[in-house]
Amino acid sequence: MNNLYQVFNDNQQRKTELYAALDIGSNSFHLVVARVVADAFQVITRVKRKVRLAEGLGPDNTLSQDAIERGIATLESMKESLKGIPPDGMRIVATHTLRRAKNAREFLQKAKLVFPYPIEIISGNEEARLIFVGVSSNATFASQRLVFDIGGGSTEFAVGEGIIAKICKSIQMGCVSYQQRFFANGLITQDNAIRAITAANIDLELAAGNLNRFQWQQVVASSGTAKAACAVINNMNKRPLDAPIKAHELTDLLNNCIQIQNPQLLSFIGLSEDRKSVLAPGLCILIAICQSLHIEELIYSDSALREGVLFELQPNHNTQNIRVKTAQSLATRYDVDTNYAHKILTTCMYILDGVKLDWGISDKSYRHLLGWAALLHEVGLQINSRAIQKHSSYVLLNTDLPGFNQEQQQIIAYLVRYHRKKIVPNNLLNEVSIAPDKLKYLLIILRLAVVLNINRHQAELPQFSIKVGVNEIKVGFDQSWFELSPLLLADIGRENAYLSTIDMQLSLL
């Protein structure tokens, strides 16, 4: 052949799309870039950096400046791998350490200066759900399974079938935090190990009671601690690396570590250098899990949180579908008047479309936040019709909402909290990425939609016009409408008094 460059000239290249998932964990940062070929993911880049973010989390839950700088430097080094990937094709999630850190906002603000991609802090239960999705979507399981993942600062559990988790739990115990609590003297002793296992069993007590109500036929462990334990044990027993391991083999391995004492002298085949210091604390947590959940055998999965994020980035398996199921579940559980909720949603979207350009809220994220607040603003009605806004907000803030990250949950709960009655300006959210004026505008739209639909059994609102300024909103109806709804004038006047506390004026055209 004369010209090698002509070899593929006649081949038709299949269309591929790039996706990326970045897991900002307590121990490591994991980046996966993949492409979808013939409806299947094909990983093209994996980047893992040991950051030990959890080591910088102090007793008062303040993240040290050293830890922040390590994390920011790692993000800056990873941004090159994300170039060329569309915004809708990537998702960056942060877990336990940034969930706990009081100064997480400082980390996010500094990250934004060098890392031009949005970072979501997700709840522990949402992390557990995504881990379950990641494990379950990358292997074939014919039965119900328990999946757990020991991270640097927390351990997540989920039980379910297919890719649907029936229960998700997150416990604040991890290999890095346990290393600091029980092995800070640098030695692996029997006393340290017993204290760590006992503490883990105590930490697991409540979650174990809930998890043990479910029957599972298989136990799958993911991420670094499980990988190291399974690799070492299976190498010792000359078994394939993906073979199941027995619970008693974990205890045998821990006893071997105790005999050696110094973690830096551990020389097991399959144990990496950076895993030595956290192997013993990780084993203690693993042993306690087996004891509390009556596990005799488990297998390791190489898939975890990042694979779950990747899976849901696909158009046919997106997070929006999960949110729909979440909303439907809440509506059923709290007997929401779904017809009325859709009326509020329709009115919100009509108002939004009329003001979004003037108020600078055209981004689809604003539409989603407002929409979910409209659909869920009455979940607290079943608790008590008085102060419904308080009850609804409490439910949304303190209930597991699969598909929503921590900030989205806070914003929706805030909008619902002040969708009616008095607004307390000092309670405006300021620890979220959305600008205060944009948040105020979304709140005004929701409140106005509720006021205009005060007659909840009215078939539909007539067409009305809207004009807005920076600090005012005017609505115009045909005069005959006020004759049909005489209370609306009084309601608009009362609403104007409420809005004046946030420097906004409502009037009629």
Q: What is the per-residue pLDDT for 398? A: 85
Q: What is the per-residue pLDDT for 213? A: 93
Q: What is the per-residue pLDDT for 1? A: 47
Task: List the chain domain ranges.
Answer: 17-122, 125-313, 318-459
User: Between vectors from CA 281 to CA 280 and to CA 287, what angle results, nearest 5°?
Assistant: 85
**Torsion sign (Cα): 311, 313, 318, 322:** positive
pTM for the structure as a whole: 0.79
Q: Where would I find the beta strands (DSSP E) of 95-248?
A: 119-121, 145-150, 155-161, 164-171, 218-222, 245-246
Asked if 76 and 114 touch (Cβ cutoff 8 Å), the reply is yes
Tokens of 219: 């136990």
Q: What is the per-residue pLDDT for 490? A: 76
DSSP state of 32: E
Q: Which helix (H) or strand (E) holds 298?
A: strand 297-301
* Run means of pLDDT, 10 residues per run, the chain, 509 residues: 54 65 91 77 85 90 94 93 87 92 92 91 92 85 90 93 91 92 92 96 93 94 92 93 92 96 93 92 97 95 89 72 78 83 89 91 89 89 81 86 83 90 74 82 91 75 82 80 66 85 85
Domains 17-122 and 318-459 share a fold: no
Listing DSSP states for 52-76 in one string gives -GGGGB-TTSPBPHHHHHHHHHHHH
Asked if 113 and 145 touch (Cβ cutoff 8 Å), the reply is no
Rounded CA gap, 29 and 48, in Å? 6
Q: What is the per-residue pLDDT for 18? A: 86
Tokens of 75: 């993000």
Phi-psi domain of 196 (left: phi exceeds 0; alpha: psi -120 through 50; beta: other) = alpha
Listing DSSP states for 442-495 in one string gives HHHHHHHHHHHT-STT-S-PPP-EEEEETTEEEEE--HHHHHH-THHHHHHHHH
User: Where does 318-459 sit in CATH, by number?
Assistant: 1.10.3210.10
Q: Compute φ and ψ for 147, nearest 5 degrees.
A: -120, 130
User: Where does 17-122 sit in CATH, by number?
Assistant: 3.30.420.40
Nearest CA among 443, 441, 369 for reference residue 404: 369
Rounded CA gap, 187 and 78, in Å? 34
Helix (H, G, I), strand (E, B) or coil at 419: coil
Rounded CA gap, 343 and 28, in Å? 46
- Across 196-235, b (16+ Cβ under 10 Å) vs e yields bbebbbebbeebbeebeeeebeebbbbbbbbbbbbbbbbe
CATH 3.65.10.10 correct for 125-313? no
DSSP state of 502: G
> Regarding beta strands 119-121 and 465-469, do their DSSP bridges make them parallel or antiparallel, or are they unpaired?
unpaired
Q: What is the per-residue pLDDT for 406? A: 82
Q: Compute φ and ψ for 50, nearest 5 degrees.
A: -80, 115
Q: What is the per-residue pLDDT for 4? A: 57
> Regarding beta strands 472-476 and 505-508, do their DSSP bridges make them parallel or antiparallel, or are they unpaired?
parallel
Rounded CA gap, 142 and 341, in Å? 39
What is the radius of gyration, based on Cα positions, of the chain? 26
Nearest CA among 229, 227, 222 for reference residue 251: 229
